[in-house]
Amino acid sequence: MPATVLIMIDGLRPEPLLNNPERYPNLSSFRSRSSWTLSASSIMPSTTLPCHMSIFHSVPPSRHCVTSNTWVPMEEPIPGLFEISYEAGLHTAIFYTWEPLRNISRLGHLSYSFFIDEKYNLLHGDEMIMNEAVRYLENYSHDFLFVYFGTVDTVGHDHGWMTEKYFEQIEIIDGLVGSLFKVLPSDPTVLVQADHGGHDFDHGISLLEDMTVPWMISGPGIRRDYQIKSAVSLLETAPTLARVLGIDPHPEWLGHCIDEIFE
């Protein structure tokens, strides 16, 4: 099976990709060969850990019980994308710089996990993630990878969203994404998205600036340069990737596969 890769750019608003695409050549080129929307919806609260729980479990915070960046267990656990992938015999891997993300998968459902506490290392933190993901791709069996880039969110909190520092950090991530693309095996499926946006120096509320994110997917059998017409939220990621991976979504997931992207 060709590799499936979910690339998360924490805190990325869509406006930079829309208004200044030449500044981000790798992400812009990716959009041109993908099915995409720059108006996907986050969830409330638009905060990193609740967002990721919704992305991987396809339910809102009212169901997965995580309403802040402090993890709490589900009252009635449901399997997420990592669990159903691993139990289907697929090799699963995660690469991340923000420790609370360790809880988006249950114990015993990852083939490979790489964490380094470098989310605040603006120059090299995400580069370490990219390098380790490349090493993994070159040396180990792989089916589904989650690659988390956290420094755009860090810069948003430190310097403000939609500031020059913010744009410069997106440029750095654009370069890392390009480097990762170069080593992906043939015919991968890649989904690039954000979890939330941001305003001023923060996020977490229902402002459109916080709630609107890019969502772009490319791969075999997926329409190229196609603007998605239906509504997309974070809850659609897991069901859509489940179809790509050839496994059934869990019946308690509330999101749906974005069928229109498939040829």
Give me the CATH number covering residue 106.
Answer: 3.40.720.10
pLDDT tens by residue, 156-197: 999 999 999 999 999 999 999 999 999 998 899 999 999 999
Give the residue numbers spanning the domain of 59: 4-261
pLDDT higher than threshold 90 for residue 5: yes
What pLDDT is attached to residue 118? 86
- The structure's pTM equals 0.98
Query: Strand, helix or coil at 19?
Result: helix
Q: Give the relative orientation of helices 237-245 and 48-57 as an angle to the nearest 10 degrees.
A: 40
Buried b (16+ CB within 10 A) or exposed e, 231-251: ebbbbbbbbbbbbbbebebbe
- 202 in Cβ contact with 234 (< 8 Å): no
Rounded Cα distance, 196 and 211, in Å: 6
**pLDDT digits 0-9 by tens, 121-150:** 887 899 999 999 999 999 999 999 999 999
- Residue 122 has what pLDDT? 83
pLDDT in tens, 65-98: 999 999 999 989 999 999 999 999 999 999 999 9
**Span 13-36, average pLDDT:** 98
Number of domains in the chain: 1
Predicted confidence band of residue 120 (pLDDT cuts 50, 70, 90) = confident
CB atoms within 10 A of CB 102: 14
